Each structure stands twice: as structure tokens, then as C-alpha cells.
Structure 1
Amino acid sequence: MEQGKSDSNEVNDNNENVHQDLSPSSLNEVMIPKIGMTFLSEDEVRNFYKSYAQNVGFGIFKLGGKKGDDEKQKYFCFGCAKSGKTVSQAKNVMYPRPSTKTNCKAKINVVIRNDDNFVISSVSLEHNHVLSPGKSRHFRCNKLLDSTTKRKLELNDQAGITLSKSFHSLVVEAGGYENLSFDERKCRNFISEARRLRLGDGDVEALSNYFCRMQSRNSNFFYVLDLDEESRIRNIFWADARCRAAYDYFSDVVTFDTTYLTNSYDMPFAPFDGVNHHGQSILLGCGLLSSEDSETFIWLFKSWLTCMLGRAPKAIITDQCRAMAIAIEEIFPNSHHRLCLWHIMKKLPAKLGGHAQYKMIKKQLKNIVYNSLTVDECDERWMTMIEDFNLENNDWLKFLYEQRNEWISVYVKDKFWAERHRYNILTPLIQEVPQLGANNDDSCSILVKILKDAKEKLIAIQTDHSRADQLKEASTSSSKTIHSRLKVRSRGRPPTKRKQSKIEQIVKKSVAKARKKVIEGPTVSVEELNNMENGKHDSLVHSDAEKRFED
């Protein structure tokens, strides 16, 4: 990936004292875009507009388009590379990264007719920035590496020749820097990607053997390899039989994330995760990617969809990655897309940490996100927070508010997300507590004591709940009868093979004495005698037993 491409599509030439020159002599060399001009393909339109932009002195890129009901493209537009506004991605809000975006409105709109001809429907040639024809070759859209140059750079890198020497030889061969359609950074980025795709000795064979071995054990093992123009492995996807079987039952919500780890080849690990009926995370497939652009994600999502027999998930959760959003919109158009709330809240210290009232802002923002019950309440409290802390000019919060229907709980609660609300509340606290306890030994000992006490209380509460549930179940069950202690004690081992306790011996003698009294004189009724045998005459038997036991 090229360095620094997130904020600009061309070099920063705002400070150059080069004035716009649109004299007839300079424009006669290239045709000016006009309404009604017809082309045969999108590439032809791109090449025409790029040639015009290169002569005038600005960069271009595709702004967007729209498809019809038949999934065919109906129109699109090319515009100036300085169009639109960029949300600052700087970690320190006091030192934002500079951006070349000026919200320039120069563009051409192209309509695709029924006869498959591409016709320019509207043209805007007005720019709100300085044009630089002399530096057009530095614009990203004009930086190109042909196959011959790529092959020469890679061979020199494998031979141990430094990139500086290789680039200098290309400059000498072309007759000067101005005759090259690329710069040294373009070459350096290509070599970095080539090294990343160049596996070590035996790695390809080991990977192929592993996949073949897994597929021979189970025919439901699925894997796909993405190769580049030179048949080198670029991206990998695989899923075993357990992943495919789990997706048959738990295809409601899928989480996709590429922030886990990278290996020795700097390839991001991209797992597809789901949630089972126990609320536990399950693996639904994974991949290794060479880059994180929209084309790579489109390939990965297509491969995963093929693996799952074309059944798209009902909902998918990702982080704030525009490339992922583009790929999801194309591959999973009917799936509900939500941004990961944990990733957004994790950025609070980096985005708002420099504010004097950061703790109050953080507390109020969490209250808005987690405790808002209605959409109107959420909007009202958000506006109040912005006004109270003077955050009207914070680009990050503006961007979050524009996307509020994709991540705030109150906006997405009508869809099933298998979310664990208590987990989302506890996760930020669990991350902050270890940092506070690691300051010194006293804080650490206090924190350990508090956590141990909390753990014991939680265990005690769970134990009490389980006992209460058992008693409730026993009392409400009609098939179970609560017996006396003597009867319960006598159940189990036969009386003839069980050693009687002292209490049982006294009770046995009391019963025998009562029987004798019945025979000699009926001082005890038959009903009382039966109660004594069943262990229910507690007033007579137990009092007599306790008295004898004390003697």
C-alpha cells in the first residue's frame, strides 16, 4: 500500500505559486470535455478525462455511480482529486494531519444509454484551487509502472541491488526524471508488496500439503488461493467442515475484523466470527490478506459466500473501514451492516484525549450511547453535549453523528445483532482498571483486594440463586414429597445392614414401650402409635429421645 494515501489523492501543491493557465494555446493540445461527447467504454472516458486533467494540471478519480434494477451501471462521474472533505485521522487533535481536499466541484457526469454508448451529460470545469500542469506526473492517477519496469525492479531486488541504484538506472535510461511516469516512492511500494508476496523456501509446498491433507480427511474442507499476474499467492481463504456446519445453524449475525494480528509476511488475519446459542463466539472461516483495499475484501467475501453455498448473513458487524463497506454493499446488498461499537469507543482517548474536559465528555458520550431509549432522546442529548463542551468543529464527532444509524444501539435495536449489552458495558471498564492498578504497588494491592472481594460476592450470589432455584423447583414439583428427617435417614441402605445411631436406638425403644403400654392398657391411641412409627409424632418421640440421650 502506498504511504500517506488516506488523506490525499495527489501531492500537496496548494502552496505552489503556479497560476491557472487556460489560454487557447495551452488547451488546443487536448480536447476539452463537452456535453454530448460519446465513448465506447468506461476506460475510454477515463483515459480522455485523465489526458485533459494532465494537461490542465489536476488529478482525477471516480466519484461514484449508480446501478439499475438489472444490476447494470446507469451512470457515473469522474471528478477532481481535491473534491470532497476528509475527516482527520490524526491521533492527537491538537496536531491534525494536513489534507489536500478543498471540496472542488469540477467533474463530468456520464450516462450509459441503451445502445451501450457512454455519453457526457454534464460538465463542470471550475476549480477552487491552483492548478499545476508542470507537476501532473506526480499525481497518483498518473503514476504507472509497466510490466517491464516491474520485472527489472524485482530481479534487481532478488540480486541484492538496492532500490536507490535501481531507480537511478531507470532515470538514466529514460533521460531524466521528467520522462518517468513514476517516482521512487512508487517503486519502493512495489518492492515492499513483492517481498510480502514472496514466500520463503518450502512455504508454498507446506501450505499446499496442509490443505490437501485436510481435504482428504474431510471433503467439506474448503480453501481458495488468490494468485497475482505472476502466479504468486496473494490472498488465502479456508474453512473446515465444523465452520460450514456451524453456519447452517448460526448465520444470523457475523462479525468480520482484520485487527487481530499479522504474521511474518505482514498479512492481516481476517476471521469470520459468529455467535452460537450459548452466546459464545464461533469461527466461520478465516483468511490471510496481502492488502486491505476494496478489491481484496470483494474477493474474500465472494470466496466466503461460495463456501457457504451462496447464503448471505442477515447481519454483519465490522469496524469503520470504507473498503469493507464498499465490498459489503456489493456482495451482501441485503444484509444489515453495523459498525462495531467497541472499536468506536476505543478511539475516545486518541480522538478526544486532548480536551480539557475529556472525562466529562467521555462519561456523557457513554451515557448517550448506552442509555438512550429513543431516537429523539439520543439526538437531543447529543446536541446538548456538543453545545456544552463546544465541540461543533470536531470532525470526528461530526462523522460519527452522520453515521449514527449504523452504530448507536437505539438506532439499530429493531434488528437482531446477538449483542451482549452487559459485555459492551463491562469491556471498557475492564480495560481501564488494569491501567489504574499498574501505577504503583499500593494501587495494585488495593485493586487485587477489591477484585477478590467482588469475585467472592459474585460467587456467593450465584450460589444463593442456584439454591433458591433448587428449593423452588422442589416445592413446586407435585411428584416429590418432603419427608421427615427420620424417614429420610432410613431410606437407602436396608435397616438390617445399617448400623443404627444413638437417636434411632432410643426412638426404637420408645416405640416398643408404647406398644407394650397399648397391650397392658390403652393409654395411647392407635392413631398416635401409627404417627410414631411414621416419625411424625415429634412431641412425644423426640422429647423422650432427647431426654434419654441427655441421661
Structure 2
Amino acid sequence: MEGTEEVSSNFQENVTAGVEEDPIENGNFVAETESVPIGASQSDDQRDVIFLDGIGSFGVIDFDALRDEEIMMIEFVDLKTAYDFYNEYGRIKGFSIRRSKVGRCKKAGSEGNIIWQIFVCSRQGERDAKHVHRNDRKMDPRPVTRCGCNARIKVHVDSRNERWYVDFFSDEHNHDMLEARFRGMMQSHRAIKTGDLHQINTMRSSGLRVPTIFRAFANQNGGFEMVGFQVKDIYNAIEKQRRAGASDTDNALKYLQMLKRRDPCMFWKYSLDEQRRLHNIFWCDGASQYDFNVFGDVMGFDATYGRNKYKCLLVIFSGVDHHMRTVVFGCAVLSKEGEESYVWLLRAFLEAMKGKAPKSVITDGDQAMKSAIKAVFPEAHHRLCSWHLLRNATARVGIPRFMTKFRLCLMGDLEVDDFEDIWNDAVEEFGLQQNSWVKDMYERKHMWSNAHIRGKFFAGLKTTSRCEALNMQIGKFIHNGYNLREFIEHFQQYLEFMRWRVVVADYKSAYGEPVVKTRLEELKRFAAAVYIREVFVLFREVLLLASNVRVVSSKKTSTCTLFEVAMYCQGRSWNVSWGEIDDEFRCSCLRMKSFGIPCVHIVGVLVRLNMVVIPGSLILGRWTKKAKQPPINNHVFSGEIPDAAYMSMHAAMLDDCRELVKLSCSNFEDYFEVKTKIANERDALREKIQKRLATTAEGEGDNASIHDPPRARYKGCGRHVVTTRGRYRRVQCCRKCGKAGHNARRCAIGNGEDTTHELDAFGSLHNMDESQEAEASQQMEYDDLSF
């Protein structure tokens, strides 16, 4: 062989120099005593050669009956094939392998090229004694797996044809071989292939957890022992992908940039702290902006923790669409919960929505939210969640009879004077004149009392139950261990799922006619043709009650006609005005303004006037079938594939590939031909994609890296102490006495004390589970719609 080689001094060869050692190599080799050299003078015609050009050619080899002489006659197309061959040989025999010594060429023009390498049994060598006898060891040492096994194979490259031949082979093991059922557990045989990794990423993007993915592979391969890797290997592969390349924040911003290429209306904004760590980030796509333009008159938002690995605050802006379903307007991740963060967030939201602000906002009463809403949305009416108020009243007052009157003031159909009388009587009866919470609630009565809020449009919402239910549903798509990039990706998938459900609701509303349950045929047919099905069901109840309405008197003025109406067997009456010029109706109950559907009093007047259609002034556009038309311009950049098209193309390509595999594997010649073509096409396409990505990266520029956000501190998380190893440990404190070392159930104060949890400025509790909170508050949402 021409040229100078680098070799190890442990081998008696006719070359001199040093070799590179494998990083995991710890032992020393014994000298080679038996070798069957294949010299340059030996031609292929003088010996029977078995040539292997890849893993696919291993099918012609019976590894169980393979002899040492036959192994010496094998040649490989490259070094990787040689490694795969010995690895497969070890798998069948019952041992694991690893890479060892390597020799490199020093010939001019070929410096550094590998010309020979040794693969050894994984139990070769001995563990260094210094790793066994350590005084500072806190854990038991791992079991000793190195026993000085001498089994190995050495492959050498032939300079004439660039093939690799077996230069030395020894199958002398000094240990027992493992059983066949342990094959998938040996280190060199536990490998996640590229195709398996792609399938794992696809399953994870669908929201499947790692144990579920592993069970799917076991079902696909015919058993857990046939998978070829373990659960922890999947975790390691996922973590390796996370750490590859840029930081998590940079990857998240790159993902948003990719979404913007598909959706030009995609908007995001972020802020950094002094150390260039991500502080806040807000994003919304074009569909969310379109939804806010249609249904953004009423908005609610709430904050929750623990939906990402950084435990940062998650804030979702949501509303209600024409199907009475929750619609998302935007999402944000905040490092800290405070007025400054909320002000930044609402200003970013206002910028994304082209300066349009909501008319009404509903929250749980957090003081920081209240101050931010007043600063950014000064014209919006801020309402407090009724369910939170009832819970706080129970914690702060706790008198059952007072709770009955407080609920009447909160949700009853009262006039302002009636509210004042009931409130004053309750305060005096139970001696609550000096109660700070009662006085504070009375000063803010315009934010929660139904008598003072009547006439403000809230689409029937009185609680933040939709926000709580939304946070609960997100848990089915987003796991707490997701990083920022994974969180954004799965959140966008959840939005796609929500929008698909809207399409299904649109189909159900357009297909078929509602069942008639009233004799007012003409009004019913007109309403069914105009209103979406869910709103028509509510309006149909109004039509059923219209028969109980009677017009007591009517009076015509210069501008309108006034009707005094009353319900059957009720002493109370309401005034309805009708302007004949503009065909406008108004009622003193103000339910039309509060919810957007004609009240029973107005419908009674329509019946009295023999109207067969609902006037346009009584039809709110957001409740109609045409409220949300598809956007005219659905921009998709040239060359970019939408998600739905990608999934269709992916499924079609898989079907073709399955059939191709089935046909080509029936014959060796067809197999080699097809495999060669696929490898060439794969390499060409991979190179093309790499050039495309490089061009895109040059166009975007090379911005400074942004560091990941720190782990957030949230309400109720306790204080952190530093352990002796320099790590942070959470210390949970008792909620009664505030001391560490015990909980409230074992507190010395006793269970008879006040058990209220952490309260915000309005007395809002934050200890209840989201699912319990959503379920309880959902029952109160539309209590006022019983016309």
C-alpha cells in the first residue's frame, strides 16, 4: 500500500505512527498473533470474494452459520457498511459492539482519510480502578461491564478499488452471549433510525406523549422487544433535537417567520430584558385578526401558569363567535405578572388589531389587569366575573342569607332603585357597614351589578368560564414540558382544531331546516333564514313566550309610537318605542342592547303590528349566517405548501412508497436497482433543500441570538432555597401560618381558622383547579337569557 499510515504501537505492523483512539476506549489491545492478510499481490480471481454494498445486501448471509473463513472473504463498499455488518453479526450472536482504534493516511492530498479501523466487543477492556474506588462517590457505581474480551474485527481499505476488506477477525469471547430477547436492549443495537425519528416527530406534533408513541411502535413492529429502542432513547432523541442549533427562543422566532411566509398577516412582538433574555412575546395569525374584526366587540382574557417548561404566564385573548363557541384572538407568554407586563401586552394586541379596541372586557378582577385595561382601553367597559365574586363573597362574609341577597343584586333583573334598596337592607340587617370588602364592592358596583351594566353589550357573558375552559382544553394539546417552540407549534394546531369545529358547525347550520315549535310561521321562517342555528334556538324560545305578551296601551307621538306591554299575570310593564321612519325598535328592558336578540316585549309588538320580517335594526350582524365570510385573499407564497396540502401529499407519497417496497423486495435485482435510484434521488433532493435553506438564511440576515426566558416565579410556588450542590429547591409553606415544614392540614393553628387562599385586590382566589372552576362558572353564563 502506498503512502504513510498512522497506526497504534500496540500492533505489530509494517507501518509506524500513531492512531486516534475512540473516546469511549479505555482498555489496551493484545498483540495480533493470528492474521490472514490480503496483500496487493492477491487478486479477486484467486479467492472467492463476497461483496456487500449496504444493509440491504445482508439478506443473503446466514449469520448463525457464518464461519471465520467466510468472514475473511467479505468486502464492503464503505466503512459504514463494515460497521453495520459487524453490528448485525453481534446482534445475532448476542453481543454488542463499539468503535475502537482508527488509522489515518498521511499521504499528500489524502491527509486525515481513514484507511483502517477496528470494531470491538463492547465488553473489551477494563474499567480504571480510580473510577471504582472513589471516596467522594454518593451513589453506587454502575455494574462492571468491561471484562477484557478480545473479540474484534479490523477492516482495511484497498487503494485499488476503494473497497474495505477484513484484515483481522477474532471471535473469542470470555463472557456468555445474551439471549435473543435482550437484543433490542444492547447499546449498539438500540438506534432510532431517520425514518423512525420522522415518525416520532409526526406523532409528537399530533400531541401524543412519548409512552404512547412507544406503544404505537410496539404495535407496529409486533411487540416491544421488536421495536429496536427504548423509551429513554426517544427522550434522548427529542432532547438532542432541542439542543441542536440555536436557542429555544431563536427556534420559536424562526418558526413564526416560517408561519409568516404562509400567512402574510402573521403578527408577533417580543421584548427582552437587560441580559437579552426573552421577557414577553405575543403572536396572532391572520385568521385570529379576522375573527377579532368580526367578533371583537366582547373580549375576555385570563392568565394561567405551567403550560411550558419555563412556567411562564400564559395569557389567551378570547371571545364568542356566531355559533356561541369560543374564538381565540391572540396568545402571549409573559415572564412576570404585573401592570407593566399587561400594559405592554395590551398595546401589542392593539397594534396587531390595527388600533381596534374591544367595547367590553371581562376578567376575574386582577388589579394589574384592571389598571392595564383602564390605561390601554379607556373606552371599554370592564366587567368582573360573577362566579369569582360569589366565591369571594362566601370567603369574605360567609352568611348564607346575605349570599342570597348578594346573588340577587349581582344577577337579578332589577332596576337601579331596587338594587339600592336590597343592598342597603342587606348591609344593615347583617351589620356589614364596616366590612372592607362589602364597601369596596359597592364602590365598584358598575363593574358587576346587572342593574348598572344593563344596556352594555356582553353577548350574554357574565363569567370567565370560557377562558377557564379554554385553558383546560389546551392541556389536551400542550404538555407542561414543552419548550417555547413546541408550545407555539401545538398551540397553532389547537387553533386549527377549533376552526375545524367551526366549519362543522357551519355545515350543520346550513344543512337542513329547524323544527317549527311555534305558530308564528312567517317570523320563524325569516329568523331561521337569517340567524345561525344556535342563535335561532334562543330566538325560538322568545317566539314561544310572545303569546304571553299583551299590549296594554299605545300612544303615537311626532317621532315614534310608544307601546306599554306587560306579561300575562304579571303586574310589571315595559315601554317599547317604534320609529316608523327608520323602523327602529327600543325597549326599556335593554336586553336587545345587552345581547343583540330582540326581547319578548319587542316581539310581542311585532306580532301586534302583523310584521312577517324582523326589521334590520333588530338584527345584529355577528349572530347571522353571513357574519363570518371566508377572507377574499388567502395568500400562499409560491413554493410554500399549506398544512392540509402537506398532509395530503405526505399520505399519497407513503401509499406509493409502500407499494414500491412491496414490489421491489420480491426480487434481489429489482431491490438493488430501486434502492440505488432512491438513494440518488434522496441525496439530490437533500442538497437542493440545503441550498434553499442557505439562501433563505442569507436573506433574513444574521441577528444576535436571544437567550431563553428564565423560569418564572408565580403565585403559590413557594420560596426557593439553594442546596449544598448549588441547585434550587422549592420550599412549600403552610397557607395558614406561612411557615415551612408542614401544610395546612397539619398546622398547629387548627382547621377552624379562616381557610381563604391567596386573594387579589378584589378578593379573587387562585387555588381552585381550572376544570372545577370552568364547570362551576359555565352554569352561570347565560342565566339572563330566559326572556
TM-score normalised by structure 1 residue count: 0.39
Instruction: Compare the two structures and name the one with the higher helix fraction.
Output: 1
User: Which structure ranks higher in relative contact order (CA pairs < 8 Å, sequence separation ≥ 6)?
Assistant: 2
TM-score normalised by structure 2 residue count: 0.28
